[in-house]
Structure 1
Amino acid sequence: MNAAYLAPAITLFRKDGTLDLESQGKLFDNLIEKGIDGILVEGSSSEFFAMPMEERREMARFAIERVDHRVKLIIGTSSMVASEITEFSNYCLEQGADAVMILPPYYFRFGAEALLQYYDRLAREIHGPIYIYNFPANTGTSIQPETVLQLATMHSNIVGIKDTTVDMSHTRELIKTVKSQIPTFEIYSGYDDNFAHNILAGGDGCIAALSNVVPEVCAAWVKAFRDNDLEGIARGQQAIDRLMDLYTIRDPFLPVLKEACKMRGIAASSTGTFPMPNATVEDDARISALLAHEGIH
């Protein structure tokens, strides 16, 4: 059974807030070596929303060079300025990214007609593959399956969607509506614990953040699907269900993922963009306990 697990890579900073490209490279290499199928940089887990454009370009250049086509590389190019999106997207694609991923406009809520116009314009101006990024909890807008089908029919370079919704009802409708007409359209869930449901419903897998911390668990789960190993699939689901508690230690959860990567020797610092909080000693104890329970060091 086909399945894929992509990592929405966190962005690692030094304590002074500058990019820590040494640690970032270790993160990318670890993800690839442990069997992750692809990497998304500058998604929500990367804190792109608090990074200046020049820093985003620097990260994009570094990711393209370091990943070097070893796995699929998608770069998030979301912005509230359409011309920034098209310019940055075409830059990333020209430099060697495999695709870009774009949120709908946020702050105000937009209906189906506005979203159709939005992605229609972007798809006409961007010269390469585009993934739509649906994240209604953070944007206030949910892109409906019928709109996604319209866009995918209109533009062959709109090739997939990351659907970050807690329950699977919206993702199931996407799979039924879009894949029934365009089977090659890729539909990924945005939460780790929806991975198996996504695959079983006919989707393509997930782009989910626990893979930063436990890529070997995620890759083993994918292998179980590819091998039709029911016991392995169940083990993967149960392990991920327990590890989902990492998301609940702190809100926002990004400092916890960074601290976990630091504990695993990948990150030198768990510093985030201002005003992202730091993980605490109490957080560290809970992270250690969760990882130890899974035999992860």
Structure 2
Amino acid sequence: MSQKIIGGINPVIAGTFKDDGSLDLDSMGRLIDHEIKIGANGITMFGIATEFHKLTDNERNDLAALLVEKVKNTDVFSVMSVTDHSTEVAVARAKYYESLGADCLMVLPPFFLNPTIEQIKEHIFSILEAVKIPVLVQYAPGETKKIIPVEEMATIEHKYKNAIFKLEPNPPMDYVRGMLKLAPDAKILIGYAGLYMLDVMEAGGAGTMPGCSFTEVYLEIERLWKSGDRQAAHELHEKLMKYVRIWMSHPEYIIKVEKVILKKRGIIDSDYCRKPEWTLTAKDYEDIDNFLVEFSYLLNK
């Protein structure tokens, strides 16, 4: 099979655990199969939504191998996020994921103990030089508290043709437009639960990386947009965002909500999040039930 095209709707997979907190590979297998069946373009493992920071190395290896095996004979591309703060460790992990058969990597720039911009660039460059597959450079200043000027990000695209970008400052559009002005050929994807997906598509972005519990809604928004029905795309997006804007107020909040949705849909067995976790209120569960009713025509096809 030829190299897969990175873009479109590329959900970040949730971490799946049993009620006792142990890893649930059976649920993960069903979740990956579900994303493939409904037409997701790609699947990303070890994003924040996967609770990467709560996994052991052995669990990461098992999950990575499972994803690669599930997508290898499909058109769905796999992305493995490299989140290590040590450059040497990150390079070794990147090479390992490439050897497994990952289609793409994502690198979260190191931020612990406040490295310099030059050190961050060296970290990113080292991974880009260590592998041949595409590498998504993730920029998440809200989570990392580290600002990378757009001029510095653009130098990465100029130097490495296997670099693509997940840009998610909040709001992102000034940064995205600045990036495309400095690097017109840059391939840009957006995160943040698709909050700005239509704005980024309008600007020339390549795709969206939301969570995975209601991927069908994002696929329909993209389908409407690409078919030329921009008004319907905006209307559906706004219906979705009235929920997402609330849930996105904290990463642990939407992680928990997405798992509850996945469990209620019968895709995974447990909505357990490894501690520390977010505690949902009765109002949150009411909102989730209302959400499932409102979007049932897409989720229950």
TM-score normalised per structure 1: 0.89
Gaps of 5+ in 1: none
The one of 10, 13, 16 aligned to 2:17: 13
Q: Distance in 2 between matches of 1:85 and 1:200?
A: 34
Tell me the residue number matched to 1:206: 208
Matches within 5 A, 1:239-278: 239-245=239-245, 247=247, 252-253=252-253, 254-278=255-279
Tell me the residue number matched to 2:3: none
Code of the residue aligned with 1:198 in structure 2: it is V
Q: Secondary structure at the match of 1:252?
A: helix
Instruction: Give how far 1:172 is off.
Output: 2.1
Tell me the residue number matched to 2:55: 51
Cα deviation, 1:207-241, whole Å, max 9, x if unaligned, reads 122xx121211111111122112233223322222
Q: Distance in 1 between matches of 2:286 and 2:167?
A: 32
Stretches of 4+ moved more than 6 A in 1?
Answer: none
Matches within 5 A, 1:58-97: 58-70=62-74, 71-97=76-102
Cα deviation, 1:272-294, whole Å, max 9, x if unaligned, reads 12222454554322211222233
Q: Secondary structure at the match of 1:40?
A: strand
8 Å Cα contact 1:8/1:207 also seen in 2: yes
8 Å Cα contact 1:272/1:278 also seen in 2: no
Q: Distance in 2 between matches of 1:76 and 1:265?
A: 27
Q: Distance in 1 between matches of 2:279 and 2:222?
A: 32
Q: Distance in 1 between matches of 2:31 and 2:83?
A: 23
Code of the residue aligned with 2:54 in structure 1: it is A
Q: Secondary structure at the match of 1:170?
A: helix
Cα deviation, 1:53-106, whole Å, max 9, x if unaligned, reads 111111100111112252011011111122221111111111111011011112
Instruction: Give how far 1:31 is off.
Output: 1.5
Cα deviation, 1:85-139, whole Å, max 9, x if unaligned, reads 1111111111111011011112233443232222122222234321101111111
The one of 44, 62, 84 aligned to 1:40: 44
Instruction: Give how far 1:3 is off.
Output: 7.0
Tell me the residue number matched to 1:162: 166
Q: Distance in 2 between matches of 1:249 and 1:147?
A: 28
Code of the residue aligned with 1:102 in structure 2: it is V
Tell me the residue number matched to 2:118: 113
Instruction: Give how far 1:25 is off.
Output: 1.6
- Quick check: 1:188 aligned with 2:189? yes
Instruction: Give how far 1:206 is off.
Output: 1.4
Which is further off, 197-206 or 282-291? 282-291
8 Å Cα contact 1:14/1:20 also seen in 2: yes
Cα deviation, 1:25-76, whole Å, max 9, x if unaligned, reads 2211222222221111101110101211111111100111112252011011
Q: Give the 3 Å change call, closer, same or farther, for CA 11–163 of structure 1 in structure 2.
A: same
8 Å Cα contact 1:115/1:143 also seen in 2: no
Q: Distance in 2 between matches of 1:263 and 1:30?
A: 14
- Quick check: 1:30 aligned with 2:31? no
Which is further off, 273-282 or 73-82? 273-282
Q: Secondary structure at the match of 2:11?
A: strand
- Quick check: 1:145 aligned with 2:147? no
Instruction: Give how far 1:268 is off.
Output: 0.6
TM-score normalised per structure 2: 0.88
Tell me the residue number matched to 1:289: 290
Which is further off, 189-198 or 108-117? 108-117
8 Å Cα contact 1:90/1:127 also seen in 2: no
